[in-house]
Amino acid sequence: MIRKFLHRVFRRGDPSSSHAPAVIPLARHGVSRQRVSAGARRTCEVLQQAGHKAYVVGGAVRDLIAGIEPKDYDVATDATPEQVRALFRRARIIGRRFQIVHVMQGGETLEVSTFRAAHNESTLKDEHGRVLRDNVFGSIAEDAARRDFTVNALYYDPTSETVIDYHHGVADLKQKTLRMIGEPRARYREDPVRMLRAIRLSAKLGLVLDPALRAPIREMAALMENVPAARMFDEMMKLLFSGHAVECVKRLREDGLHHGLLPLLDVILEQPLGERFVMLALASTDARVSAGKSVSPGYLFATLLWHEVLANWEARKARGETSIPALYEAMDEVLEVQSEKLAITRRIVGDIKDVWSLQPRFEKRAGKTPYRLLEQPRFRAGYDFLELRAESGEIPAEMADWWRDFQNADPDERESMLVPDTGGPKKRRRRSRAKKTPGEGVPDIAEG
Ligand code: ATP
Ligand code: MG
């Protein structure tokens, strides 16, 4: 009796387990098991048959209820990583921020994680309150409570086709509201990246930010400076390649979040020409993602940083530096500052330079140069970039049109399209080629 009473009092103090979850039937959430990927269904089945709890969880459940095809599936279970691994033929434990198991089923990879406990006083945090380690196993109720938004804390059981919902996530999703689990300020302190996630998910799902979740963002945005650069980079990539980048940037600005989080975007959005260029680039990225086409970080960063390079390049030319070497200096200087700030890897830096260094070569429309440019492995990216520059008004549309036509033309037509060389005598040009003639002296970048 007393024990029962104490138990009740004790539970009441703990928000994660103070209430029983809603168990929502198929008729109310509408997700039949056929809509779940075969691999996710199979993984839950195997775990359940071994006596464990297992659910599809997180973004996949949210997306399914919202009528969106999930891009990947996470499974949550009360089995430990070792127990999970032992149940599958192709499975391996990977340890990133915490240990999870990758289970391979057909062509799918499922991320299986063990229910995790909520944070308490003993959780390791940095001096700003950011959680550094969070690897204590817990109950499903605790696991739900440590997730970020109510719509992300839904557990779908493919066997019973029910959704377990501790935080009214299904109702919030139906009412198109993004709500934080717990006190938003405390949750942002634990992990400032949640601010970015709030913007990205609200843009993706067309959700309105709950005022309590929205209000602190502006004042707490600076906390993101303490987040490791690599994590910020991952999160930015998710945002820029979400297929909703334009909407995300719009929302970021409305919520005062672009400042400090994307220092380069700050700079760019203040330049009239640069802003148009960046938004066009993001719109074309969104269109590619929606069409299922490939997108590359190098190309996107090349667009984001281009106007910084242009400004730097112009300043150098105004100081009397020779055009092409000045461009290379400008590229290096901009990348040196930005790649560190944005955690851009060396490989991506190489891709960015490829796109930029092709640009002056499009100016040359005589002799063999245009033919050689067509043969460049990165010609396509360079040309797409040129089109964006023309669309944004930076260069004459005529130049991009010429290159479009030149690509499509047959050999005779191409020959007749070449613009007669207006330069001086050939000999002189050849001698000073690497220095004076824009475009001609740019080294081939194929080796990179
Ligand atoms: P996406 O559609 O981009 O995959 P997602 O919600 O699935 O969105 P993930 O990063 O794959 O995002 O995270 C999976 C789940 O893990 C989330 O749905 C959420 O429940 C939980 N989660 C992820 N990041 C956090 C975080 N920073 N704080 C709390 N919970 C998180
Ligand atoms: Mg996900």
78 — pLDDT class (breaks 50, 70, 90) = very high
Q: Please give the residue that has the higher pLDDT: either 305 or 39.
A: 39
* Closest protein CA for atom 4 of ligand 1: 59
Say if residue 168 is in the same domain as residue 247: no
**Backbone φ and ψ of 42, nearest 5°:** -60, -45
pLDDT at 253: 81
Asked, for residue 216, whether it belongs to a domain, the answer is no
DSSP letter string, 269-282: HTSHHHHHHHHHHH
pLDDT, residue 265, reads 60
Looking up residue 59, the CATH number of its domain turns out to be: 3.30.460.10
Query: 56: which strand partners?
Result: 75, 156
Cα-based distances in Å from 132 to 40, 111, 159, 234: 30, 21, 36, 17
Instruction: Ligand 1, residue 187: give the atom nearest the CA.
Output: 28
Atom of ligand 1 nearest to the CA of 59: 7
Per-residue pLDDT at 263? 60
- Rounded to whole angstroms, the Cα distance separating 415 from 370 reads 10
> Whole-number mean pLDDT of the chain?
86
Beta-carbon contacts of residue 439 (< 8 Å; ≥ 6 apart): 324, 360, 361, 362, 363, 364, 369
Q: What percent of the chain has pLDDT over 70?
A: 84
Q: How much is the pLDDT for 269?
A: 64
Q: Ligand 1 pocket check: which of 131, 147, 190, 205 to mutate, most ligand atoms within 8 Å of Cβ? A: 147
In a domain, 224, yes or no: no
Domain range for 60 is 7-181
Query: Do 234 and 173 fall within a single domain?
Result: no
pLDDT for the residue numbered 262? 58
| Number of structural domains the chain divides into | 2
In whole angstroms, give the CA distance from residue 174 to residue 152. Answer: 13
Contact 423, 437 (CB under 8 A): yes
User: Where does residue 99 fall: left (phi above 0), alpha (psi -120 to 50 degrees), or beta otherwise?
Assistant: beta
Tokens of 142: 């605790």
Lowest pLDDT segment from 125-134, 250-259, 307-316: 125-134
Do residues 49 and 88 touch, judged by C-beta distance below 8 A? no
13 pLDDT higher than 90: no
Residue ID of nearest Cα to ligand 1 atom 28:
148
> Does 304 fall in a domain?
yes
Measured CA to CA, the distance from residue 128 to residue 225 in angstroms comes to 11
Whether 216 and 194 have beta carbons less than 8 Å apart is answered as no
412 an active-site residue? no
DSSP string, 4-25: HHHHHHHHHT-TTTSSPPEEE-
Residue 225 CA to residue 41 CA, distance in Å, equals 40
Task: Identify the pLDDT of residue 228.
Answer: 86
Indicate the pLDDT class of residue 247, thresholds 50, 70 and 90. Answer: very high
For residue 240, is pLDDT > 70?
yes
Helix axes 379-391, 272-290, angle to 10 degrees: 130
Choose which residue among 135, 140, 148, 189 to substitute to test ligand 1 binding: the one with the highest number of ligand atoms within 8 A of its C-beta. Answer: 148
Best of 73, 75, 115, 152 for a ligand 1 pocket test (most atoms within 8 Å of beta carbon): 152
Q: Which residue has the higher pLDDT, 409 or 268?
A: 409
**Same structural domain for residues 245 and 174?**
no
CA distance 379 to 427: 29
Q: What is the pLDDT of residues 199-238, one digit of tens each?
A: 999 999 999 999 999 999 988 988 888 888 888 888 888 9
Are the C-beta atoms of residues 48 and 195 closer than 8 Å to each other? no
Ligand 2 centroid to residue 146 C-alpha, Å: 16
266 near 299, Cβ under 8 Å? no
At 202, list the tokens.
């609200």
Band (15; pLDDT cuts 50, 70, 90): very low
Rounded distance from Cα 179 to ligand 1 centre (Å) = 14
CA–CA distance from 230 to each of 70, 239, 296 (Å)?
25, 14, 17
Ligand 1 site residues, Cβ closer than 6 angstroms? 58-59, 74, 147-148, 152-153, 191, 193-194, 197, 238
Reply yes or no on whether the pLDDT at 284 is more than 70: yes
Tell me the CATH number at 276.
Answer: 1.10.3090.10
Residue 430 has pLDDT above 80, yes or no: no
Q: What is the pLDDT of residue 165?
A: 98
Give 343 Cα–ligand 1 centroid separation in angstroms: 21
Question: Residue 74 catalytic?
Answer: yes
CA of 149 to the centre of ligand 2 (A): 13
Which of residues 181, 213, 240 is at a domain's end?
181
pLDDT of the residue at 64: 98
Q: How far, in Å, from the CA of 127 to the mean position of ligand 2?
A: 29
- What tokens were used for 14? 């703990």
- Among residues 143, 148, 255, 286, the one annotated as catalytic is 148
Contact 54, 44 (CB under 8 A): yes
428 belongs to a structural domain: no
Output the six-digit token pair for 214: 């929205």
Q: Are residues 24 and 124 in the same domain?
A: yes
Residue 191 Cα: closest atom of ligand 1? 27
Is there a single domain that holds both residue 20 and residue 149?
yes
CA–CA separation, 6 and 13 (whole Å)? 11
Mean pLDDT of 251-261: 72
Q: Is 221 within a domain?
A: no
Residue owning tokens 């994307």: 262
